[in-house]
């Protein structure tokens, strides 16, 4: 059982400077390291003005946090791969892998918000009905994996050709000739990066998705999916799909839920009433934001119609809590919810967002400690691969 944190740099009130938010992030990373959490996942978001997640470069942020910790792993969830030059992001992640002594996991995504995608790479538009976003993602991913593992790397694809034709290699006379880099015409025909990743052949790869196509593609590419909104039968179906697709690729059928990371909003207090009092305003605001971006249907189960007015009439807290989107309450309540879903879906990797935008950093301190002392020990004993089969 892996128990991770999804961490966002939040400043909902707008009263803190960005540096004060950074200091809180550093404190929480050190706490998580000492309390026994397995990973901290950091997102990539640009042009934040709402105080939702002011983290434009999770690679640089993780570099800072890795230097302050000794054990905890750092996950990128996600690097928006369509918005980066593939060679630059490959180099940056490889260096982070060394800075952290191999404590790096990488999830790639295609970008979420129009303000980010359309202003950093409008060709990666994922809302106009074209396949460009998938095409860019696939090519960039192939380039990153290739340059990480091949010291004589070359590529010719729809958008990139490496090396650029006609590139002359200027070589230091005191260094050995790099094997396979230069052709008979003296021009560069292949090259590699320095350094390659610390973890060989590369850091573990994940994909952030909540769709059937996303789970299928992750399985086919050997990436572990991380998902947020699916619940109930929707989540069960996705876990089955991933299991079946991995079996096709590898010839071995994994257990239901194996390698599937599931993200949930979480907050632990001494009582259910206290947890709800602290978290509900932030939960309601988050619910309304996601409904604007993705629609209410992402929170519903397979047999629930998002056009049914009864769901819009429900209190956001009740709708989300009843469908297991919220691991919020006393230690007993949170433990019971997580245990039940671990058994029903075979989940072996939970990502907990305790820093929901709007919850004060001091309240997050208490939740981190209470979860670690009251919930974590029992959750560690669960054998999700065994119970999911029953």
Prior bond to 106 cis, omega within 30? no
Task: Give pLDDT, residue 385.
Answer: 57
Q: How many CA atoms lie within 13 A of 250 on its CB side?
A: 14
R_g over Cα of the chain: 22
Task: Give pLDDT, residue 390.
Answer: 45
**Mean pLDDT confidence for 376-387:** 80
If you search the block for the tokens 């009439």, which residue do you land on? 313
305-347 tens-digit pLDDT: 999 999 999 999 999 999 999 999 999 999 999 999 999 999 9
377 C-beta neighbours (distance < 10 Å), count = 11
Quick check: 384 pLDDT over 90? no
Q: Are 79 and 62 in contact (CB under 8 A)?
A: no
**Mean pLDDT confidence for 202-224:** 95
Task: Give pLDDT, residue 242.
Answer: 98
Q: Are 351 and 17 in contact (CB under 8 A)?
A: no
Task: Give pLDDT, residue 112.
Answer: 87
The rounded distance, in Å, linking the Cα atoms of 157 and 155 is: 6
The percent of residues in the chain predicted with pLDDT above 70, rounded, is 98
The rounded distance, in Å, linking the Cα atoms of 311 and 308 is: 6
261-298 tens-digit pLDDT: 999 999 999 999 999 999 999 999 999 999 998 899 99
Strand pairing report for 104-109 and 205-208: parallel
**Mean pLDDT confidence for 114-123:** 97
Quick check: 31 pLDDT over 80? yes
Task: Give pLDDT, residue 293.
Answer: 85
312 C-beta neighbours (distance < 10 Å), count = 12
196-205 tens-digit pLDDT: 999 999 999 9
Quick check: 369 pLDDT over 50? yes
253 C-beta neighbours (distance < 10 Å), count = 12
Strand pairing report for 161-162 and 155-156: antiparallel
Tokens of 258: 């194996």
User: What's the 3-state SS for the chain?
Assistant: CEEEEEECCCCCCCCCCHHHHHHHHHHHHHHHHHHCCCEEEECCCCCCCCCCCCCCCHHHHHHHHHCCCCCCEEEEEEEEHHHCCHHHHHHHHHHHHHHCCCCEEEEEECCCCHHHHHHHCHHHCCCCCCCHHHHHHHHHHHHHHHHHHCCCECEECCCCEECCCCCECCCCCCCCCCCCCECCCCEECCECCCCCCCCCCCCCEEEECCCHHHHHHHHHCCCEEEECCCCHHHHHHHHHHHHHHHHHHHCCCCCCCCCCEEEEEEEECCCHHHHHHHHHHHHHHHHHHHHHHCCHHHHCCCCCCCCCHHHHHCCHHHHHHHCCCEEEECHHHHHHHHHHHHHHHCCCEEEEECCCCCCCHHHHHHHHHHHHHHCHHHHHCCCHHHHCCC
Domains in the chain, ordered, with CATH? 1-8+37-150+200-208 (3.20.20.30), 151-191 (no CATH), 211-390 (3.20.20.30)
**Mean pLDDT confidence for 85-114:** 97
The rounded distance, in Å, linking the Cα atoms of 207 and 225 is: 5
Q: How confident is the prediction for the chain on average, in pLDDT?
A: 95
Backbone φ and ψ of 337, nearest 5°:
-65, -45
Quick check: 251 pLDDT over 70? yes
179-188 tens-digit pLDDT: 999 999 999 9
Quick check: 119 pLDDT over 90? yes
Quick check: 352 pLDDT over 60? yes
């Amino acid at each position: 059982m892996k128990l991770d944190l999804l961490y966002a740099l939040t400043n909902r009130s707008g009263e803190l400077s960005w540096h004060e938010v950074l200091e809180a992030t550093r404190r929480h990373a050190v706490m998580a390291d000492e309390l026994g959490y397995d990973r901290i996942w950091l997102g990539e978001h640009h042009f934040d003005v709402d105080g939702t997640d002011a983290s434009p470069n999770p690679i640089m942020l993780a570099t800072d946090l890795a230097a302050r910790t000794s054990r905890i792993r750092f996950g990128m969830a996600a690097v928006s791969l369509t918005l980066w030059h593939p060679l630059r992001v490959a180099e940056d992640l490889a260096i982070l892998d060394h800075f952290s002594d191999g404590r790096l996991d990488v999830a790639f995504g295609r970008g979420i918000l129009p303000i980010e995608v359309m202003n950093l790479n409008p060709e990666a538009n994922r809302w106009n009905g074209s396949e460009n976003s998938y095409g860019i993602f696939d090519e960039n991913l192939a380039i990153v994996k290739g340059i990480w593992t091949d010291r004589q790397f070359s590529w010719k694809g729809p958008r990139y050709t490496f090396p650029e034709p006609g590139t002359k290699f200027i070589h230091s006379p005191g260094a050995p000739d790099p094997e396979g880099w230069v052709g008979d015409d003296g021009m560069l025909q292949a090259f590699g990066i320095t350094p390659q990743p610390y973890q060989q052949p590369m850091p573990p790869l994940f994909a952030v998705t909540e769709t059937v196509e996303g789970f299928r593609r992750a399985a086919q590419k050997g990436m572990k999916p991380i998902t947020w909104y699916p619940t109930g039968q929707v989540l069960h179906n996705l876990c089955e799909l991933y299991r079946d697709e991995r079996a096709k690729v590898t010839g071995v059928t994994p257990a239901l839920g194996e390698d599937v990371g599931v993200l949930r909003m979480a907050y632990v207090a001494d009582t259910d009433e206290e947890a709800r009092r602290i978290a509900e305003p932030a939960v309601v605001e988050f619910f309304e934001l996601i409904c604007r971006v993705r629609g209410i249907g992402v929170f519903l189960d397979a047999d629930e119609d998002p056009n049914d007015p009864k769901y819009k009439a429900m209190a956001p807290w009740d709708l989300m809590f009843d469908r297991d989107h919220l691991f919020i309450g006393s230690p007993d309540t949170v433990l019971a919810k997580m245990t039940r879903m671990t058994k029903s879906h075979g989940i072996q990797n939970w990502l907990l967002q305790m820093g929901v935008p709007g919850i004060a950093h001091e309240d997050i301190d208490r939740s981190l400690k209470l979860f670690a002392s009251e919930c974590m020990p029992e959750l560690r004993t669960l054998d999700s691969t065994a119970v999911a089969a029953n």
